[in-house]
Amino acid sequence: MVTVNLGMLHYVLDHVYGAFMHRTKISTPFFSRGWGGNKLDLLEKMIKQLFPEVEGQNWPPSLIQPIWKTVWETNSAVLREGVFRTPCDEQLISALPPESHNVRVAFLSPKCVPPQKMACVVHLAGTGDHTFERRLRLGGPLLKENIATMVLESPFYGQRRPMLQRGSKLLCVSDLLLLGRATIEESRSLLHWLDTEAGFGKMGVCGLSMGGVHAAMVGSLHPTPVATLPFLSPHSAVVAFCEGILQHGTAWEALREDLAVQKAAMTLEEVRERMRNVLSLTDVTRFPIPKNPDAIIFVAATDDGYIPKHSVLELQKAWPGSEVRWVTGGHVSSFLLHNGEFRRAIVDGLDRLQWKESPF
């Protein structure tokens, strides 16, 4: 009788997938064009300014006016796509590639239900999620619970991808910070639009992997309580690029050469240390606790080759009142097999919020 340790299998699957994706020569590595020069300095400065001086005071989200077109419609639901200019400030816009200046969203909502009796969740992209489809599939079954789904196309992804970028492999380290910073700004504006323009009774934000990190940041920095639902996500990009499988898909030599041009020659260990310092800006444990900690639900995998358990537990410790739910599996298998658990977390997180007072 051969007993197979399933956890080990899931963990191995992550590493096999990671080796195929990141160690083969099939695709270019991340950050093949280096650090990003002045842009990186600018972003480091801007991200340090994100944190409110006064606890609980967040700057107001920018107003947006999306232009909508209907993609399809049935008796019970409607799918629209919207376009608007990124609400980022001019400094950020000039750092973004021109292809990323216009934002695209998909908006799937129930019909015949007044918005104040509905909730809507903004779904953010994980690494490599360039289209709306997967997140619409995750959100679709929630229509019967009167939960709408808003899917944001990330900067640097889909139709917003710069011409020279291959797939998801960002060219510079500064692009990763830019992607995050713009995603926060755009998501907060969408939540604000859902609240003030569309009149939804409750809002939430969720995402898988990288999208989960961004969801945690948005939940932290939004001025009103929203359900905050990070799935399979680390507490910081340091975990992904310096400890997890993605370190094998990072162009360390190119980063070293780029630094050598600017400074003296450096060892690869010093280059990794510089990367840790830069990416420590994405450490969510440094962000303020979201306004309603009860409505924070992390879903994490028991045998995740990308995200170690300690990373998830650090987040829970930093945000007292939050809940962690464990699913059995690795990063890749949970992503494929546990949509039911992700949906349950969305429903439960929204249930823990108060309905907004109706203006009527």
Q: What is the pTM of this model?
A: 0.92
- Residue bearing tokens 């944001």: 152
Whole-number pLDDT of residue 111: 94
27-54+61-352 falls under which CATH superfamily? Alpha/Beta hydrolase fold, catalytic domain (3.40.50.1820)
Whole-number pLDDT of residue 48: 80
Whole-number pLDDT of residue 3: 40
Whole-number pLDDT of residue 246: 82
- Residue bearing tokens 């280096």: 34
β-sheet bridge partners, residue 295: none
- Calpha distance 260→209 (Å, rounded): 32
β-sheet bridge partners, residue 109: 78
Whole-number pLDDT of residue 1: 42
Whole-number pLDDT of residue 348: 98
The residues spanned by each domain of the chain are 27-54+61-352
Per-10-residue mean pLDDT of the chain, 360 residues long, equals: 51 50 63 93 84 65 96 97 97 95 98 95 94 96 98 97 94 95 97 97 97 97 96 93 85 92 82 94 93 97 89 95 95 87 98 80
Dihedral sign, CA of 93, 94, 97, 101? positive
Using DSSP bridges, classify how beta strands 77-85 and 102-110 pair: parallel, antiparallel or unpaired: antiparallel
